[in-house]
Amino acid sequence: MINVMASSVINAPVSSVWGLIRDFGALGRWLPGVKSCMIEGDDPGDRVGAIRRVEMGDVGVIREQLLALSDVDHAVTFSIIESALPIRNYRSTITLLPVTDGNRTFIRWRGQFEAAAEHAASMEARMPTHIYQPAFDRLAEILAQGEIRA
């Protein structure tokens, strides 16, 4: 199993960041490279078991399932159930923690997956630098521009 992680501090309170992260169907708003994102069926974006269909510009369609959502812990866990990416058994959790010095948010995105030997190193490098960190940067940009309020 390959474990990856990225973290950052966003200059906004947890409640504001959580307002963006919490809706499983709103990924396209804050993850760069998303062409479209929608929840399949009639499930709302915060129902455990919901499946989102994400069309990415570089890898096509990815289907992900919401496994856990905690308003208390400010954490969301999901898995990839279908993807053209050369990985298997992907599962990740995004967690928010308050930084009381300045009313900021510590955000951590952890992922784990399996990959064939020829893809392991590239996927291990790709997740934190090309997916997680750009997402943090976009969240910070959205919140700095005041596009959402808690």
Residue 38 lies in a domain: yes
131 vs 128: CA distance, rounded Å: 6
Residue 150 lies in a domain: no
Please give the full DSSP string across 26-44, using - where no structure is assigned.
GHHHHSTTEEEEEE-TT--
Helix, strand, coil % over all residues of the chain, rounded to 5: 30, 40, 30
Which residue has 């499930």 as its token pair?
Answer: 43
Hey, CA dihedral for 78, 81, 87, 88, is it positive or negative? positive
For residue 89, the domain's CATH number is 3.30.530.20
Residue 103 lies in a domain: yes
Q: What digits encode the pLDDT tens for the residues 74-117?
A: 999 999 999 988 999 999 999 999 998 888 999 999 999 999 99
Whether 72 has a pLDDT exceeding 80, the answer reads yes
Residue range of the domain that includes 125? 2-144
Residue 128 lies in a domain: yes
78 three-state secondary structure: strand
DSSP lists the bridge partners of residue 65 as 51, 79
98 vs 120: CA distance, rounded Å: 33
Residue 135 lies in a domain: yes
Q: What digits encode the pLDDT tens for the residues 123-132?
A: 999 899 999 9
Q: How many domains does the chain have?
A: 1
Of the CA atoms within 13 Å of residue 131, those in its CB half-sphere come to 22
Mean pLDDT score, 4-31: 94
44 three-state secondary structure: coil
Q: What digits encode the pLDDT tens for the residues 27-49?
A: 999 999 999 999 999 888 889 99
Residue 18 lies in a domain: yes
Residue 96 lies in a domain: yes
Residue 149 lies in a domain: no
72 vs 84: CA distance, rounded Å: 34
Which pair of structure tokens corresponds to residue 145? 């521009």
